[in-house]
């Protein structure tokens, strides 16, 4: 490889390094990522919330079934009175 070609390649490498050095300060560091991730829920926390929601909806569903049963009984009682 001739001297001129080597100098050109070195210039190209320097230009690339300069562009990389401009981008590097804008990239997140490991500490930045840890700080951002820390408040996020873990899988265990999500499972716990899911279980609480399931329990809550089971209670709501059972209550709704009771209400429907009462309405059905009232409809039957009214139907018998009308006859």
| Residues 50 and 80 occupy one common structural domain | yes
| Residues 51 and 33 occupy one common structural domain | no
**12 is in which domain, residue-wise?**
1-39
What's the pTM?
A: 0.46
| Residues 53 and 35 occupy one common structural domain | no
| Residues 21 and 46 occupy one common structural domain | no
CA distance 83 to 70: 20
pLDDT tens for the 83 residues of the chain, in order: 788 899 999 999 999 999 999 999 999 999 999 999 888 888 999 999 999 999 999 999 999 999 999 999 999 999 888 87
| Residues 24 and 46 occupy one common structural domain | no
| Residues 1 and 33 occupy one common structural domain | yes
| Residues 13 and 27 occupy one common structural domain | yes
CA distance 17 to 27: 15
| Residues 30 and 50 occupy one common structural domain | no
């Amino acid at each position: 490889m001739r001297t001129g070609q080597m100098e050109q390649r070195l210039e190209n490498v320097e230009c690339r390094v300069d562009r990389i050095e401009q981008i590097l300060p804008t990239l997140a560091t490991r500490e930045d990522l840890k700080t951002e991730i820390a408040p996020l829920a873990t899988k265990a926390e999500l499972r716990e919330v899911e279980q609480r929601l399931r329990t809550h909806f089971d209670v709501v569903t059972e209550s709704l079934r009771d209400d429907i049963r009462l309405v059905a009984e009232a409809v039957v009682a009214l139907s018998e009175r009308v006859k």
